[in-house]
Structure 1
Amino acid sequence: MTGEHMYDYVIVGGGSAGSVLAARLSEDPGVTVCLVEAGPADHDPNIRVPIDSPKLFRTHQDWDLDSHPEAGAEGRRVYLPRGRVLGGSGALNGMVYVRGARSDYDGWGQPGWSYEELLPYFLRSEDNERGASPFHGVGGPMAVSDARSRNPSALAFVDAAVEAGHRATDDFNGPDQEGFGLFQLTQRDGERVNSSIAFLRPALSRPNLTVETNVHVTRVVIEHGRARAVRGRRLEEEVEFPAAREVVLAAGAFGSPQLLMLSGVGDADELRALGLDVVLDQPEVGRNLQDHPHVWLGFAHPHPISLISARDPRNVEEYQAHRTGPLTSNGPESGGFVRSRPGLAAPDLQFQCLPVLLLDGGLTPPPGHGISFGASVLRPLSRGRLALASDQPTAKPRIVFDYFAEPADLDTAATGVRIGLEISRQSALKTYTQTPYAVPDSESDADVRAFVRRHVQSLHHPVGTCAMGAVVDAELRVRGVEGLRVADASVIPLLVSGNTNAPTVAIAEKAADLILGRPALPRASVAAA
């Protein structure tokens, strides 16, 4: 067996969290760090050009997962792209920089993880082109920039939302999340910036950091109650990476619980049924799966401005010369946060608008120009589960979100559809919405709810499968196993109200301090609106 050099810390997964951890831990020259990634290095040019990231879907750089049949979605399987490359899902996501609401973090109820305790870690990571403020940082590795595409239909969507009575906002990460506007993006000079680009690449020259790519980790070696090593395969070669201090799982909300179970940490009866040895009976591993169910409305129009024309020669020339124009589009260029009903403490719906017809979760090319927009249920009550399908490490896990198992989620999603239809009727947007392509048959309650079930998709924000307070403690240590932590979106106990990439980076930032025993950053004191 090769690769048996001893490291202080071995990190599994080079995605949004793992790249941050590798960079931050290796800042200490007194420790050695090994980052193990299943996919290749992130040299594919489709990663850097924002509009091209969907070209990675269903390729070797995508874990290419699907949910199992969803009863709440008419038995459909929902496509779940996840990055299998350095940078992880940050290599193919929509680059939207949104943190969520203050109440999300305060609601976790975990010591050290309130909004004011975590905000300093958001600020430490951030390099916002607008400059520093109580809610934004500068000088950090992660670039945050204003959109450079500014598609006319995405701008019209914001104008229409304001026409419909919603407020406008220029910052979804300020004191108040509510309103409609353009998203800020993790881009610099019109190119994607993810955790690998921002954090890992500048650290690669450090002698105490080793990065191993194309290694499919098969298990964590746990002996006498302590994580000792990470074992995997590179092609047909078995490799092992011993850890003197800790193993840190950063394989995401699907990968981390799967690895725990393959390593003997999970529901004992289910592990034994698959012929796996039980190290720790922990039935909560893989449970508590949460996601933002999203429903897109679609409208065709004749205007040659949608993203299907992004690679017209004139646009390519503009991008090459100025790094502006449609090739910088992240997809969901604009959006907004609203309350589905009065009396809620914070918005419970997030709208996103794409200047293109989005079909089949992005897998089917659109037949012509169009626009798509719709809402996610931000704080769903329904809970899903990830479980092993086999004892084979390369077998894809069984994933069921159980969308709309709780009727209140369907109520909220239906309200989101109705709000979207109202926005579509406003004069600012009419030139783009005169030809309905994917809308309910009518606005009756039955037709709207049927449309929701027929069209619901994942917004690709899975969390919760190794939750703090259940699987890990507030310092992200796996309960019942020494020398093993989880530090990624799987530890989030309650889904945040927005996109999950920025929170995942902040979690990894704080995790690095916890692992190295550094003092927590001073609490931020900022007032809510």
Structure 2
Amino acid sequence: MNNPYHSEHDLADAVRRNQAARHASLRSHYDFIVCGAGSSGSVVAARLAENPEVHVLLLEAGGSDEAASVIEPAQWPLNLGTERDWGFMAEPNAHLNGRSIPMNMGKVLGGGSSINVMVWARGHRSDWNHFAAEAGDEAWNYESVLQIYRRIEDWHGPADPERRGKGGPVYVAPARDPQPTATLMLEAARSLGIPTFDSPNGAMMEGDGGAAINDLRIRDGKRLSVFRSYTYPRMAQENLTVLTDALVSKLVFEESTVTGVEVIVGGRKRQFNAAKEVILSLGAVNTPKVLMQSGIGPEKELQRHGISVRQHLPGVGQNHQDHVSFGCIWEYAEPQQVGNGGSEATLYWKSDPGLDAPDMLHCQVEFPVPSAENAARGVPEHGWTMFAGLAHPKSRGELLLSGPEVNDAMIIRANTLSDPDDMRAALANIDLCRALGNAGAFGRLVKGESMPGKLNREEMEAYIRDGAVTYWHQSCTAKMGRDAMSVVDAKLRVYGVKGLRIADASIMSRITTGNTMAPCVVIGERAAELIKSAHGV
């Protein structure tokens, strides 16, 4: 958008004055209500607000993103466990030696894009082609989505006009001045016959994978959340109202049509009505929660809590997927700096050439990060971690209600490592991880491997079960498709319900290869296109 303001200070002042005026005269009716200001909802709200005649209300349960821990890339871990984190926990899991693992999720303007490590990962060609096949709509395939990426990106890296865009709202660049830990990982990969690329997006995500310096959402040393790139520049417009500390509790209906939402604002219940549509962008935990507590979901689950069934959709809360990983740690010979938030290089690779996408997702972090259980093995004061991750785990979890009220916590049965194939994949992943970290390339930098070290099969399985953590990419709990377990159609409309769409990671039928922020932006862009087309706005 064209910025009519002379400086960031002028824009900030206009935003403050306009939003204060909007809050002082909250309307009871808006054209569109977008629930959740994360990586999808921020896009939907901003795109709909492009038309000055359209009135948009964006609701966010969290608060302001004006905090050093959000703005400064290296401080992202400081947000975990604070008011900017939903603080979800998975149930104790027998496949993880009875452990309950944290499932952190952003509760702040920007959602996960305000507290994550800022990695821009587009997903593999086969991910998008899978979505298109499941939905029966070629508008979701890789070639179509590639056009969206080219349109929205402002790419500041090696030229690739076939795949990368310039001038869009999403500033993306390779990690600037990466630390030796990152550059040597690429050298180690080459020594093992794994190709390296200028970017982990583009050609690398059209074939078997490879290794590359990360594409990040950092400019001039500061975080760029999706909210700041899309929504914030429009908050000086009179047709966009952004309401924080607004917890969506239920959908409001007239027969089978959603006409608004019930929201807890400042401890008080309020109702806002939507003349055209409500869009749920609350993430893979809270979107199914609001659906179920509003009477949309598995009949037995709703009846168990005395909730009247408005639409039986057995797939709501099912098909839960997440990237799981296992930290391998090396000790530095000498202390090293942490660059760009600590995640500067990544590797995607196939354990079997016959797979349609890489099943290995290795994320490097430039400081030691053991699980609490494996920390007892001895953590070096100065070291780095290579997370051996499963890009496409076969284990499937589910989300259940603990009660019918807004403050009743969700039950997250992640079922991590419940499928035996995931343990086999984890073992292969750690083998590759150790080969990378112990390669000659790291000779001068690394003193030695701290963990796991050389273990027998039984010991390594115990290490994996004790060490499994999430990449915080929960998804797939209200999937798009055409089978009985699908929740939305190709146009993101909830089956059997009018006036309601979903736009967030929950609509994925399978988790994308790599970090989920970029695919969530595309989901938001697709939702906005579909809504604009449907309503002629």
- Identify the range of structure 1 (249-258 vs 72-81) with the bigger mean alpha-carbon deviation: 72-81
Gaps of 5+ in 2: 1-24
The aligned residue for residue 39 of structure 2 is 16
Aligned residues: 498
Q: In structure 2, which of residues 204, 210, 228 is the aligned counterpart of residue 176 of structure 1? A: 204
Aligned residue for 2:342, secondary structure, equals coil
Matched-pair contact (CA < 8 Å) for 1:374–1:416: no
How far is 1:260 from its partner?
0.5
The aligned residue for residue 459 of structure 1 is 471
Q: 1:456 to 1:488 in 2, by over 3 A?
A: same
Percent of counterpart pairs with the same letter? 33
Which amino acid letter does the alignment assign opposite residue 453 of structure 1? R
Which amino acid letter does the alignment assign opposite residue 191 of structure 2? E
1:133-152, aligned counterparts within 5 Å?
Answer: 133-152=161-180
How far is 1:290 from its partner?
0.8
Matches of 2:424 and 2:47 in 1, distance apart?
43
Gaps of 5+ in 1: 308-325, 521-529
Q: In structure 1, which of residues 487, 496, 500 is the aligned counterpart of residue 516 of structure 2? A: 500
Matched-pair contact (CA < 8 Å) for 1:4–1:239: no
How far is 1:53 from its partner?
1.4
Aligned residue for 2:440, secondary structure, equals coil
How far is 1:362 from its partner?
13
1:173-322, aligned counterparts within 5 Å?
Answer: 173-177=201-205, 178-307=209-338
Matched-pair contact (CA < 8 Å) for 2:438–2:449: no
What RMSD over aligned residues (CA atoms) do the two structures have, in Å? 2.1
How far is 1:494 from its partner?
1.2
2:480 equivalent to 1:468: yes
Q: In structure 1, which of residues 116, 119, 123 is the aligned counterpart of residue 146 of structure 2? A: 119
Matches of 1:457 and 1:129 in 2, distance apart?
32
Matched-pair contact (CA < 8 Å) for 1:440–1:451: no
How far is 1:30 from its partner?
2.3
Matched-pair contact (CA < 8 Å) for 2:333–2:447: no
How far is 1:367 from its partner?
5.8
Deviations 1:449-468 (A, max 9, x none): 22222211111111110100
Matches of 1:344 and 1:165 in 2, distance apart?
18
Which amino acid letter does the alignment assign opposite residue 5 of structure 1? S
The aligned residue for residue 5 of structure 2 is none
- Identify the range of structure 1 (265-274 vs 10-19) with the bigger mean alpha-carbon deviation: 265-274
Q: In structure 1, which of residues 40, 51, 54 is the aligned counterpart of residue 74 of structure 2? A: 51
Matches of 2:431 and 2:239 in 1, distance apart?
55
- TM-score under structure 1 length normalisation: 0.90
How far is 1:396 from its partner?
2.2
2:524 equivalent to 1:512: no
The aligned residue for residue 397 of structure 2 is 384
Matched-pair contact (CA < 8 Å) for 2:380–2:450: no
Q: 1:440 to 1:227 in 2, by over 3 A?
A: farther
Which amino acid letter does the alignment assign opposite residue 459 of structure 1? Y
2:455 equivalent to 1:424: no
Q: In structure 1, which of residues 436, 450, 456 is the aligned counterpart of residue 462 of structure 2? A: 450
The aligned residue for residue 396 of structure 1 is 409
Q: In structure 2, which of residues 427, 431, 437 is the aligned counterpart of residue 414 of structure 1? A: 427
Matches of 1:390 and 1:384 in 2, distance apart?
19
Deviations 1:63-120 (A, max 9, x none): 0111111222111111111111100011111111111111111112120211111222
How far is 1:180 from its partner?
1.2
Deviations 1:352-384 (A, max 9, x none): 111100133899997611010032111222111
Q: In structure 1, which of residues 129, 134, 145 is the aligned counterpart of residue 156 of structure 2? A: 129
The aligned residue for residue 497 of structure 2 is 481
Matches of 2:337 and 2:443 in 1, distance apart?
15
Matches of 1:366 and 1:56 in 2, distance apart?
23
Q: 1:292 to 1:279 in 2, by over 3 A?
A: same
The aligned residue for residue 60 of structure 2 is 37
How far is 1:300 from its partner?
2.2
Matched-pair contact (CA < 8 Å) for 2:370–2:467: no
1:67-86, aligned counterparts within 5 Å?
Answer: 67-86=90-109
How far is 1:519 from its partner?
12
Aligned residue for 2:166, secondary structure, equals coil
2:380 equivalent to 1:357: no
Q: 1:199 to 1:468 in 2, by over 3 A?
A: same
Matches of 2:462 and 2:490 in 1, distance apart?
41
Matched-pair contact (CA < 8 Å) for 1:14–1:88: yes
2:119 equivalent to 1:96: yes
How far is 1:474 from its partner?
0.4
The aligned residue for residue 320 of structure 1 is none
How far is 1:301 from its partner?
2.5
Q: 1:363 to 1:421 in 2, by over 3 A?
A: closer
Matches of 1:149 and 1:382 in 2, distance apart?
38
Q: 1:73 to 1:418 in 2, by over 3 A?
A: same
Which amino acid letter does the alignment assign opposite residue 426 of structure 2? A
Q: 1:169 to 1:384 in 2, by over 3 A?
A: same
How far is 1:204 from its partner?
0.5
Matched-pair contact (CA < 8 Å) for 1:271–1:278: yes
2:88 equivalent to 1:65: yes
Q: 1:277 to 1:358 in 2, by over 3 A?
A: same
- TM-score under structure 2 length normalisation: 0.89
How far is 1:277 from its partner?
2.2
Matched-pair contact (CA < 8 Å) for 2:75–2:341: no
Which amino acid letter does the alignment assign opposite residue 449 of structure 1? E
Matched-pair contact (CA < 8 Å) for 2:315–2:487: yes
Aligned residue for 2:276, secondary structure, equals strand
Matches of 1:254 and 1:124 in 2, distance apart?
30
Matched-pair contact (CA < 8 Å) for 1:33–1:210: yes
Aligned residue for 1:336, secondary structure, equals strand
Q: 1:454 to 1:485 in 2, by over 3 A?
A: same
Which amino acid letter does the alignment assign opposite residue 359 of structure 2? D
Q: In structure 1, which of residues 325, 339, 350 is the aligned counterpart of residue 350 of structure 2? A: 339
